[in-house]
Amino acid sequence: MKKITLNRFGMMMAMVLPVFLLFFAIACNKSASTPQNKFLTVHLTDDPALFNDVFIDVKTVEVKIDPDLNHDSHFDDADKDSDNDGTDHDQFGKWDTLHIRPGVYDIMKLRNGLDTVLATGNIPVGRIEKIRITVGSNNSVVLANKVSQPLILAPGQNNYLYVKIDEKEIDDAGGQVSLWIDFDLSESIREYNGQFYLKPVLKAFSMEQSGSIEGKVLPLDAHAIVKAYSGTDTATAIPETGNGEFKIRGLKTGTYSVSFKSSNGYRDTTITNVQVMKGNNTELPTVTLHK
């Protein structure tokens, strides 16, 4: 009887095992072809202003993910920033905390093509909707005379800073997503009665979906400020003090004018019809300003 039982068990296993292995292989193949997360890197860079230093106290960085890829993008829709304050999820998605090095960042050092990695993390598959940066109170500006002044949040501005993400700006080939956050200091800081106020203006871009302009402006004592503009798309650069070189990134495809506003008696000038294409860098000839 034992021999008959074992033979029957062997026959059953011979029938069941191939089916089990087939389902196991299908499951493994599905898991391999459908990744459950992707790796996000958030870089911080600067659209500068006329300060020696601007110190921003960064506490946390989070990303909002809509797990349903069938939903329409929430860029510029009813998902108001103020409705997200202090929440971890809503009908538009769920917030996921990224890995960061919390501390005070000198944003003015991140210009002319320089940046720093602000946050990283494995995030669930889904549409990236927003970045939320929580800032502390240890913010300050250092003026040209090397005097430090406190930088406080403007009335009505809390410590949550939001950056809306346009899905057209994202390239997640290979499960790797890299975004750059441009901190527009010239639009974010205002002075009133000797007090400096912070109302941040931030935008996101990717290298694959945006272009850049770079060049050099002389003489150095002209202290030129460079601005590229095309319709409502504008960006500013302050050339390096040692060589006059500048770089403006995160520009949309289009035709730009690049203005050079100078001081010390030098005349301003503008270059027109500068073509910018996504994924490309447009290099201008050296600009020499005259009195």
| pLDDT for res 76 | 65
Domain-located, residue 82:
yes
Domain boundary among 190, 209, 228: 209
Angle at 125 (CA atoms; ends 124, 130), nearest 5 degrees: 75
Both 252 and 157 in one domain: the answer is no
Domain boundary among 170, 194, 209: 209
- The partner residues of 122 in beta bridges, in order of sequence, read 39
* DSSP single-letter state for residue 250: E
| pLDDT for res 33 | 41
Both 184 and 247 in one domain: the answer is no
The domain in which residue 115 lies consists of 35-209
| pLDDT for res 30 | 40
Both 42 and 154 in one domain: the answer is yes
Which CATH number do you get for residue 267? Answer: 2.60.40.1120
Domain-located, residue 6:
no
Cβ(189)–Cβ(134) below 8 Å? no
Domain-located, residue 18:
no
Both 113 and 241 in one domain: the answer is no
Both 172 and 222 in one domain: the answer is no
**120 contacts: CB under 8 Å, gap ≥ 6:** 39, 40, 41, 42, 98, 99, 100
Task: Give the tens place of pLDDT for each residue, 237-247.
Answer: 999 999 999 99
- The partner residues of 204 in beta bridges, in order of sequence, read 181
Tokens coding 235 = 């960006």
Domain-located, residue 19:
no
**Prediction pTM value:** 0.83
Domain boundary among 158, 185, 209: 209
d(CA 274, CA 257): 6
d(CA 15, CA 10): 9
Both 180 and 137 in one domain: the answer is yes
d(CA 115, CA 247): 12
Both 217 and 258 in one domain: the answer is yes
Domain-located, residue 193:
yes
Q: Look at the chain and count its residues.
A: 291
Domain-located, residue 23:
no
Could you give the 3-state DSSP secondary structure of residue 106? strand
Both 120 and 259 in one domain: the answer is no
Domain-located, residue 25:
no
Could you give the 3-state DSSP secondary structure of residue 155? coil
Task: Give the tens place of pLDDT for each residue, 59-88.
Answer: 999 999 998 877 766 666 789 999 999 999
Both 149 and 217 in one domain: the answer is no
**193 contacts: CB under 8 Å, gap ≥ 6:** none
| pLDDT for res 106 | 96
Run of H or E including 233: strand 233-237
Report how many domains make up the chain.
Answer: 2
Both 56 and 176 in one domain: the answer is yes
Residue 179, judged by CB atoms within 10 A of its CB (0-12, 13-18, 19+), counts as buried
Sites in the chain below the pLDDT cut of 70: 1-36, 72-76, 173
Both 219 and 283 in one domain: the answer is yes
- The partner residues of 161 in beta bridges, in order of sequence, read 133
Residue 159 backbone phi and psi in degrees, to 5 = -90, 10
Both 169 and 282 in one domain: the answer is no
Domain-located, residue 87:
yes
